[in-house]
Structure 1
Amino acid sequence: MLTGAVLLVLAGMSLFLRVFFSFDQVIAEEWVKFSGVDAYWHMRIIDNLVRNFPNLIHFDPYNIFPGGEFLDKIHFFDWFLAGLIKLLTLGAPSERAIDLISAYFPAALGALTVIPVYFLGKHFSSRWGGLIAAALIAVMPGEFLGRSLLGFTDHHIAEALLSATAMLFLALALKKSPGQLTFRRLQARELRPVLGPLLYAVLAGVMLGIYIITWQGALLFLFIIFVFFLVQFLSDLYRDRPSDYLSITGVLMFLAAGLIAAPFSAALQNLLIFAAALVLGAATVITRFITARRLKPRLFPLSLGAMGAVSLAVFYLVDPDRLIFVLRMFTIFVPTSTSAATTLEMQGLFFPGGAFSTAIAWGNFNTGLIVFPLALVLLGYRFIKQGQPGPGLMIVWSLVILAATLGQRRFAYYLAVNVAVLAGYVSWEVIRLLALRRSPGPPPVGRRRQAAPKPGSAANPVLLSLSLLLVLGVVFAPNVPQAIDEARREHFGPPDAWQKALLWMRDNTPEPFPDAEFYYRLNNTPDQGFSYPDTAYGVSAWWDYGYWITRIARRIPSANPSQSPRPIKKVAALFLSQDETAAAAMMQTLGSAYVVLDYKPSSTIFWAILMWGEKPEREFYDYFYTQQGNSYIPERLYFYPAYYRTLAARLYNFDGRAVTSQQPVVVSYEDRVSAAGVPFKKFISEQAFSSYYEAQSYIDRQPAGSYRIVGNNPYISPVALPQLDRFKLVYSSEETVSQASFTVPEVKIFAFD
């Protein structure tokens, strides 16, 4: 009863943290602002799903223009949330009710995660260890907190909750099954001793199946569980222990998961799930053969390796493209795509931006970053010494998730569960060593003693209190101020300027379809491609804002965060266009009638546009280095004329107006190569002129040397720019930003004629 009350308090504390401090940023009288761009993709689906429940849209013409986007069936998160909305509103939800319930949903899931984390901590240590783990996950900052805050309506927190629950049931299934769950007992129908492990195995499979239909990348946990079973098979074989329980538990779990996932998952994914079950069955046959023949245990991995090699060869001969697709799934550990280079959450945990730093890791786990490896060492020793499946499961699970997080920092929301559980485990070991002492056993036979104590552990109240304070002070307390500070910060929601601009667009631009109700239409997958009406058009903005445009403005973006490369490259080419003729041609190719810009495409994310547009940075701007001692410092940033001629700069920086040459600068420099072989420009001098003509005349008179005409302010062009006749500024936000000593509207909308 007391433990339940403490858990309830911890869950309430977790919910309070996720709602209270960010409430004013998310919920306002006139709107609800969701956090993270992907939340708006989910909200678009939920809008349609609530209207057509339980039917899910399979093709969305609102996602990208032209072409639309196909949706898979992996949407349990959206389906469950839509069903909850229907239930709570008695089947008649308003837009406001949909937004409010959806905003609270991730915070509620984050609070519920306290429960499986407690039971995992209890399973691997004790009730105290479980409570410490639950308390830690309730306040852990970083990705886990950020993805479960009020308004972060994305499936990530559901992934953490479902995967943790699946692993809990698997751990419980394995706890008593080694000596009880055997084929002999199943054949003899001795159900009583095996019923518990079988039930937990099925529950683990059910949770794994639901997890699989929640996230496309759920094969990550299929891989973790599969690797664990193989490791445990080998461990039991070396210790000459029966391994029937592994085969029965694993096959039952994978079959249950496969049956749930089969109607929704792709055929290849279903094949991998059932193949995993088949391999575990084969592993039992191999181990029995090795044991019966008294062969060396190393034949087990050799046999499985040979089977795997043959299977891969056959797979390659039958369908090489699908095999390559499967192998590419492992790139989550080392992402190398353009998206990875330009997406913050896909950067490495210790190498954000390519430079080593512990700031991100410490921001996610705080002192857990120190406790985590210590716990792995202790569990590793325990596993090597005893070979029990529980520690083996936690070690494999933690190491694989750690590898994924090292490759992409976003997976820290998974690793948070492991860090919390293992911190609880270490904390319990500290408490046990400092505050608990073994009580004496019963007296010898024949010796009279009243109320003889049972053997066990007795606590010294003073030492127990001190050890609890020590553990909570080291493991728990440092996370609280950090978590509160993070909860107060805005997490990638649309600024007011964007919210108002897109609501203006919704009310003041033509509907792309015959009527506004088309937004709720249930579109099935078109056989011959979707036929847009003549009234349809696109809205060109950088891909980061695509889902905002779809859900808030209910217009069709030219690109979105699905990161489909072709549309993004087209928008990049549009923004980098060097004249109006090229820009107009690209607008017609995209079918766009409007361009929406804030300050970022011409400044802070201009480098990303260059990367997608496959253009070198040094064509548009460059850093010039000055010597300080024995090193060179990138002290001066200059913009070349090509930068000012880009459509992004001409529209946002100059509103498409004609611009005369102002304050051109001639910079002289030397081309150098660093000791590492990297070329750079050494700054020599600069000289300002009143016109581009004077600057060019000055360069022409120089007998030798390297000179360039540049600008040192992105809002003052050193070159003349003609007026853009086909682009008209139709909206400027009231909200402003300061850019290079200028105050400019934060968001601008241009109509294309």
Structure 2
Amino acid sequence: MSTSTGEQTESEQVRSDSVIELFKRWYHVPSVGLIMAFMLWVRLQPLDNFTRNGEVFYAGNDAWYHLRQVSYTVRHWPTTMPYDVYSEFPTGVRADQFGTLFDQLVATGALIVGLGDPSQHTIAMTLLVAPAVFGMLVAIPTYLIGKRVAGRFGGVTAALVLALLPGVFLRRSTAGFSDHHVAEVLFQALTVLGIMVALRSAEREKPVYELVADRDWDAMRTPGKWAALAGISAGLYMWVWPPAAVLLGILGVFFAIALSIEYIAGRSPDHLAFTGVVVGVTSAFTVLLSIDQFSLGVTSLSPLQVGLGLGLAAGCAFMAWLARTWDTMETETLRNASLASFGLLFFAIILAAVAGLPFLGLPFALILVFGGLFGGVAYTRDEKAEKKAYYPVAISSILVAGLGALKLVAPGAFGILIRNVNRTIAFAQSDTTLTIGEAQAVVGAGEPFVQTLTQFMGAQYGLTYVVAAAAFVWLVWDLYSSDKYRSELLFVLVWSTFMFLMAMTQVRFNYYFVVSVAVLNGFFIGRIVQVVGIPDVSTDDIDVEPYQVMSIVAVIMLVVMPLTPVLAMTSTTVDAQADSMGPGSVMLWDNSTDWMRNSTPAPGKYGGANNELGYYETYENQDDFAYPEGAYGVMSWWDYGHWITVKGERIPVANPFQHNAKAASDYLLAQNETHANLLLEALPNIDQADKPVDQLSNEDLQRLVDQQNDQQASEDTRYVMIDYQMASSKFGAIATWTGPDPQTYYTNKQVNINNSSVVLPGMGEQYERTMLSRLYFDDANGLEHYRLVHENPSQVGFASLAVQQNGRWQAAAVNRALNIQQLLQYQFSPQVHVYDTSVESVVKTYERVPGATVAGQADVSSATNVTAKVQLKSQTTNRTFNYTQTVQTDDQGNFEITVPYATDDSLTVEDGSTDTVVEATGEYTITVEDSNETGTVAVPESAIMTEDGEPITVELSAATGSSNSTVSTDAASGSESESAADEDQPRLVRTEAGTLARAA
């Protein structure tokens, strides 16, 4: 029996040894697999939030345009949409950053899931979950980069940190946020990994110029293969996001530093130059395969990306050649040239300061200082050291000279370069760029830098950003002190530095920085493991002391515990943050865009035309699409353009590419209807103006209109959509685009509080005169060519709030949008005074019509006022309100009044008209001021839709009784006297004091 027991024990020991051996070899595979599964699970948490009654929704704006691109690509696979006539009326638009590799990959996934013929719901669901899949895949290159800098344990730690980090990356890689951002992260990480592998391979194989000259392909095959793969990856990264060309700029900085280090260290830089040349050429060739535009463009694949790739290759080749030539030159010649270089650098710093670009001058200043110190020290030692010291100074001087030459030879390209440096890494976005939420700097102007930065970084990264900073310093020290210098580690430092600058310049770029933070944390913990003395589990002998285990556990807990869902003390963990995501404001627009799609004529069919534009039809690239008769545009703020395109299937004037943003701003801020209409009429040839849109007078606009050909004259903007955010929180951004400054729209007013007059801020007359305010708050009362055709049944309150502090009333908010319950709470709170209140639909849609002319003659002896009034009722909110229009007669009493509302509903969508939900309850009443004359008149819908139609004559007679109008009207605005939306919402009425109270 003892023998049998012994055999069993030996067998168990063999099996145990095999399991341990397998674990030592492959533990990283299940570890990373579990991390990826966790990431996918977290990112699919909010899936139900984005599906309502079988319909799929998305967060933000851009995801909706990706749905359009993916839907098109499925129907025309693998081709993406070259030109979209359903956006940016009246020209159409190139997709640029949309319709890229991201959309092709998602479309391919939809075709696979749908077995070659996916339904629209399948396409939408595939796009919905795509960010979660891409986000999960980012863990693979993160692990591999971490493994290269700190071993397998460091790689697993890096992937774990990535999985647990909340913030921008989590949000943009969660189901529902279906934008290309997460694909950018994946392809950038793959490119960084490829470059690291290529650099290490080049250091081992040492490809030099002589091998290239002798065409010794066998010796160059391995480093050339990895460099080519890295270049292809960089090209694919630009396929996903054309502005990814910024990575080529980062590579340029890296190779300039790395080749200089190699030369100063006494090593030939040929092998690094070889890598740079191959990466640059292959990236340029990859981009060239997909170019469809031959003018310089950052947001679309163009010769710019190709030129940057070839420029990187040429720069690396030049630096390698210069290093060889440098050794043959006389020291005195180099000394004189270096003195001239110092002068050139100093001059560049002065110019950068004068031009307001201090960031551009900073690297030159550092080169000047350190180059001078290094050169001075080298001069006191020996001639060889001195010659090496001058090399990086020469490279910097050549760069300065190159920038100067670019400024002289190609000022346009130089301007593109400077603008994109400013907005990407130099904290210098324009005011209009700052109106984009995701493009805000982490620390805004006037904010306390350290406090704001610390709060932001803590919310985004927990304590991992502190560990990453320590790891960065540690990695610098390792590079400086180690005998085994690795250029790939220098590349990680350069890459991380630029990712930090990008993340601080624009909040959204934190989705890039997260990978760098994760890798640096992996490096830190991996180095701690080495310092403490725990051997790698891949070794045969593992002898671990308790203190070693405790040390590692303590470090890991410091990094991971604040982020772990089970242990974290805050709600910023990944699962809580992901689960809280939802579609947002698009849900409030859903009713309005559905109505627009079903109740307005299809583009090309307005007014009875029969030129419908195919929604998924292919249109070739062009500068200005000739829209057929019956096509029309929809004016709104640029934020909502993609919703109008995709959910409404109509053509917005402005879109989230920020195209026509200035025109939209100028229209919404227009102080009179005449200017607003002239602007819309001039849009087809507005590019012929010699001044910016916001500087065009009515006379300028009229000249443009008069110069239009027949086709341009037929391109009309027919609808205007305004929501509660445009009237409140987004108004500042709207005003920023064309001015004047948003503050000019505010004023101080006397407010009665407890029988005392208090001066408080409110919206001024200039705001109330804007087209935005007159349409949204006044229901187009007094305007001649706009009729309200739909209002969303959901309602929102508006109010300015004052609170009492130290015995004095002070403003807490001005014109803030509040839900109805909040408004009621403030209304009845003794600590808060509410003024300037109103209740409106969340989205209102207006139609711009020619209007009908009502003509008549009053029995008066001098000019006097004549008013037309009609009562209207909204079917969606069940409210009634009045439209009024007042004109003055001539001396003989003749008058003409243009009105936009019909008193019947005789035309349908099939007739090329609008199925309006706002209808008149009776005829127009015409009254004459200072006279007892009155009359009524019917206005058919055909009359308001006819250009230059015959006037409708109204007969006036002496009034025999009082008006039977049942709706009272605010004399100033004609606003509703009661609001009865759906039964679930409390009804509010305006009191004599100008506040709102619950209706009895």
TM class by smaller structure: 0.7 to 0.9
Q: Secondary structure at the match of 2:718?
A: strand
Q: More helix by proportion, 1 or 2?
A: 1
Determine the structure 2 residue equivalent to 1:570.
663
Indicate which of 443, 456, 464 corresponds to 1:350: 443
CA distance in structure 1 between the aligned counterparts of 2:995 and 2:33, rounded to whole angstroms:
52
Counterparts in 2 of 1:227-238, with a 5 A limit? 227-238=253-264
Aligned to 1:402: 500
What letter is aligned with 1:48? Y
Equivalent residue in structure 2 for 1:650, among 774, 782, 797: 774
Deviation (angstroms), 1:66: 1.3
Change in Cα spacing, 1:18 to 1:272, as seen in structure 2 (3 Å) is same
Q: 1:153 aligns with which of 150, 159, 178?
A: 178
Please name the residue that 2:126 is paired with: 101
Structure 1 residue aligned with 2:249: 223
CA distance in 2, matches of 1:51, 1:34: 21
Deviations 1:114-134 (A, max 9, x none): 000001111000111110100
Can you list the C-alpha shifts for 1:134-156, whole angstroms capped at 9, x where unaligned?
01112211111111110222111
Q: Is the 8 A contact 2:640 2:656 kept in 1?
A: yes
- The residue number in structure 2 matching 1:289 is 325
- The answer to whether 1:638 aligns with 2:664 is no
**Amino acid of the residue matched to residue 779 of structure 2?**
D
Aligned partner of 2:396 in structure 1 is 305
Query: How far apart, in 1, do the equivalents of 2:981 and 2:533 lie?
Result: 63
**RCO comparison, higher one (Cα < 8 Å, 6+):** 1
Q: Which secondary structure does the structure 1 equivalent of 2:720 belong to?
A: strand
Give the secondary-structure state (helix, strand or coil) at the position aligned to 1:338: coil
Alignment map for 1:202-601 (pairs within 5 Å): 202-263=228-289, 264=291, 265-291=301-327, 294=384, 296-331=387-422, 332-333=424-425, 334-351=427-444, 356=449, 357-358=452-453, 359-386=455-482, 387-434=485-532, 436=534, 458-460=542-544, 462-481=546-565, 482=572, 483-490=574-581, 493-513=584-604, 518-526=614-622, 529-564=624-659, 567-589=660-682, 591-601=716-726
1:98 Cα deviation (Å)? 0.7
Equivalent residues, number: 671
- The answer on whether the counterparts of 2:586 and 2:643 sit within 8 Å (CA) in structure 1 is no
Cα distance change on mapping 1:400 and 1:172 into 2, 3 Å = same
CA contact (8 A) 2:837 2:995 kept: no
Matched residue type, 2:580: R
Residue among 117, 136, 140 paired with 2:161: 136
Cα distance in 2 for residues equivalent to 1:218 and 1:586: 36
Given that 1:544 and 1:561 are in contact with CA atoms closer than 8 Å, whether structure 2 keeps it comes out as yes
Residue 604 (1) aligns with residue 629 (2): no
**Which protein has the larger Cα radius of gyration, Structure 1 or Structure 2?**
2
1:423 Cα deviation from its structure 2 partner: 0.7
- CA separation of 1:457/1:351 partners in 2, compared to 1, >3 Å: closer, same or farther? farther
User: Taking structure 1 as the reference length, what is the TM-score of the superposition?
Assistant: 0.81
Give per-residue Cα distances to partners, 1:608-647, cap 9 Å, x unaligned: 122123123343214799xxxxxxxx99432223323333
- Which one of the candidate residues 164, 172, 176 is aligned to 2:189? 164
Does the 8 Å contact 1:236/1:242 carry over to 2?
Answer: yes
Paired position in structure 2 for 1:57? 81
Distance 1:615 1:187, change over 3 A: closer
Paired AA for residue 249 in structure 2: F
Deviations 1:672-707 (A, max 9, x none): xxxxxxxxxxx9999xxxxxxxxxxxxxxxxxxxxx
Structural RMSD (CA): 3.6
Flag structure 2 segments of 5+ consecutive residues without an equivalent.
1-25, 292-300, 330-383, 566-571, 605-609, 684-715, 751-757, 784-807, 812-833, 841-881, 886-898, 903-915, 919-979, 989-993
Select 2:738's aligned residue among 589, 592, 613.
Answer: 613
CA distance in 2, matches of 1:743, 1:267: 63
Q: Are residues 741 and 62 of structure 1, via their aligned partners in 2, closer, same or farther at CA, if it must alter by over 3 Å?
A: farther
In 2, the alpha carbon distance for the partners of 1:186 and 1:459 equals 49
**Cα deviation digits, residues 353-410 of structure 1 (max 9, x gap):** 8564133332222212211211110111112223421221111001111111111111
Equivalent residue number for residue 703 of structure 1: none
Per-residue CA deviations over 1:435-469 (Å, capped at 9, x if unaligned) read: 62799xxxxxxxxxxxxxx9998552634543443
TM-score when normalising by structure 2:
0.62
SS in 2 for 1:59: coil
Gaps of 5+ in 1: 440-453, 626-633, 660-682, 687-710, 745-753
**8 Å contact 1:350–1:361 — kept in the other structure?**
no
Determine if contact 1:382/1:391 at 8 Å carries over to the other structure.
no
Residues 1:86 and 2:209 aligned together = no
| One-letter identity of the residue aligned with 1:339 | T
| Structure-1 residue corresponding to 2:375 | none
Matched with 1:672 is: none
Residues 321 and 11 of structure 1: is their aligned pair in 2 closer, same or farther, counting only changes over 3 Å?
A: same
Percent identical among aligned pairs is: 27
Query: In structure 1, how many angstroms separate the alpha carbons of the residues matched to 2:211 and 2:540?
Result: 33
Kept after mapping to 2: 8 A contact 1:232/1:389: yes
CA distance in 1, matches of 2:901, 2:273: 67
Counterpart amino acid of 1:472? I
Stretch deviating more after TM superposition (425-434 or 55-64) = 425-434
Label 1:437 to 1:119 Cα distance change in 2 as closer, same or farther (>3 A).
closer
Q: Counterpart amino acid of 2:736?
A: M
Q: Is the 8 A contact 1:124 1:391 kept in 2?
A: yes
Check 1:177–1:597 CA distance in 2 against 1; reply closer, same or farther (3 A cut): same
Higher mean Cα deviation, 160-169 or 727-736? 727-736
